[in-house]
Structure 1
Amino acid sequence: MRRTPARRRRLFAAALLVASVLAPMATTPATAVPAALPTALSATFDHGGTEDCPPDGFGPELTARLDKAIEDVREQAGIPGLVAGLWFPGKGSYVRASGVADKVTGKPMTTDGFVRIGSETKTFTVTALLKLVDDGRIQLDDPISKYIAGVPRGPEITLRQLAEMRSGLFPYTDDADFQHDLLSDPSRFFTPHEVLAYGYKHNNTFDPGAQFQYSNTNLVLLGLVVEKVSGQRLVDFIDKRVLRPAHLRRTLFPTGPEFPEPHPRGYTNQTLSGEVTDSTDWNPSWAWAAGAMISDLEDLRRWAKIVATGTLLSPETQAERLKTLPTGFPGTGYGLGIMETGGWIGHNGSIPGYETVTVYLPSQKATMVLMLNTDITSQGQEPSSLVARAITEILTPDNVYDRPVPPREAGPSRAIDIGFAAR
């Protein structure tokens, strides 16, 4: 079955979403992963960074309900394997892996694997940008033209609007030539300027600040701003100023298809033919600052609270980050590289073969992390959103993640996986 235009849009908008490959700074095809990372990949899980959660789960009855709800969604949506981690201080925790990590061998999914986190990369890139704000080196209302030349309407578009997804710049992942070039050769290296060129062929979709439109073009530009102002590669700046201070020892920004073990195989139907394929080793350089990073369950658990509460930022800058604006999807707002849905704060990620959700609920100091080894939609909805919704309907009925839109409110394309449906 051939991919429809809508499906192509979903693929790349969200796929990048919330992940990013550290593409080369200029036109260099590849660079090395920071030296400190490989030695840390085998480190044992660090359970610090969140309030204490009783280790004995939520009790047999509630645990059984969660087991059934998650397994029902997994089977109905055709998800090969998934990992769910839930931590509610003072109440309990729940960490489970179900399904398979490899459909060929039948190897079971495990809780200790790495996954590509897609658009969750955006939370790291914007945190890096906000570190420069705190350093006094940039201001959120600076025009992008102050740092990067050649951006359509650059003097009118601010860094804030880029981070809010309100720039009006055309999403390069919606360009038909980009989609064809990527899917024709998923191993290809793309530089940031190469992917931006696909978007620049199109007129801006609206005036700066006029509305919300999820666009990976915005994040690639912000990644270039971080490099320009800091004088460092984005991968190095994020490593030194974000990952290390956050004690994220199993999170990395690859420069190509490298993928530490262990990891599940990833499956997608974002192909030229629409057939399902193994996309585990596809090169994510096209997503760069928008969606190329890799992490694991424990690091994402720690990051959920850090990004939602602003541990790495000044209170004033975090307050700016959390000023969410309407997205057009009821119950969901978007701030500076961060979303709020049903009271949960964080981001989701989607990239061919993988989906993740990393969110924090301030009212209960609760954390939810999901990792899936597919991005194939089910009845037009992102599989990670289906799982998150099923879980929160049980655990936090007053705070349901991505609550379904009533029929009268639904638009022509409801794929809000705010991975954003980063696709």
Structure 2
Amino acid sequence: MSNTYYREEPVAPSLDRAPACPFDPAPEVTALRAEQPVVRLAAPEGAPGVWLVTGYGPVRQILADPRFSSRYETQYHPSMGGQLPPAPVGDLTGMDAPEHTRIRKLLTGKFTVRRMNLLTERVTEITRERLDAMERQGPPADLVEVFAQPIPALMICELLGVPYEDRERFQGRARTVTDPGDPEVQYAAFMELGAYLRDLALAKRAEPTDDLLSDLATGGDLTDDELGGVAALLFGAGLDTTANMLALGTFALLRDPAQLAALRDDPGLAAGAVEELLRYLSIAALGMRGVLEDVELGGRQLKAGDTVVIAVNAANRDPARFSDPDVLDLRRSAAGHLAFGHGIHQCLGQQLARVEMRVAFPALFTRFPALRLAVPAEEVPLRTDPVQIYGVRSLPVTWGPM
């Protein structure tokens, strides 16, 4: 007979991070992981069961198990008080097989490790250009604006074949989309970019160029709506995530001089450092899945129609999987982290993101060895909405003599 204790009463943990520990998951979520990695969340009367999953093992199981659906309409959103609407056409993150399989198959060959590594030279050029601009501007500077956001934005322009004459406007709208300021302005910029990308995708059908979007427009069986949706997905998934990893990763390194010195002294450490930063920061902190059939998870019985909320950041700090998980250790093997997901929905653009970070972090600290925060750490403005990609709203930095 098992002596395992299961908390029966629903819980409503705060998702707020401790101000003094901006890189760590919310303390109440971490505490639940230690007590019970699968726990029922409080929900309105009559709502389906909603479960918070914080342990590495159960989170990894969910991400690989087809009994947990990615389709938005299978999921009950606790804070919105209802089922979610279906995903936009072409949005792979809200699809299951076989629709997901058909579209992802068209994309997989475009994002191979080899192809992404071939982009290293262009990433290096763009990074050098941004560092030159940063040096010309002089300190202080907002690292988000001058470095972290432009690098992935320009690489997306390269991948999608955005004409050079449109790139300044594209970057401007991209900055607005990734700035968690006025939600209405942010949404309007996102819709404008979505419409632009759909028109661009259709133009590629008529006059293809040498880019990924043209390959999809002429070499697959995507409808016009699917093509536009995939273009918007690639933009959204490849910009906000990498931009925030570059900025938040820099913030974390500036707060940990020993780890920063290790990276600066050994550029060969970059690949492993990127994996550890991905694990440690886990900026895509939360995800959701709908339960399609009765299933046991972490010793709990989930019912068809339930929803699971997966805390990826807590799973990547699970001491059952990683030793001393709350310590940033760039020499650690962070293999197996779930920052890019797991299973059929694992991030398509992960290899490009890795290339960008492996180039950008060493280049930044080599060019500006005295880089430091221009404001006290507690004054760096953080993104506080737990359902958004986590990061900093800005990162004021300076350099030169103390």
TM-score, normalised to structure 1, is 0.29
The structure richer in helix per residue is 2
Larger RCO of the pair (alpha carbons < 8 Å, separation 6+): 1
The structure richer in strand per residue is 1
TM-score, normalised to structure 2, is 0.30
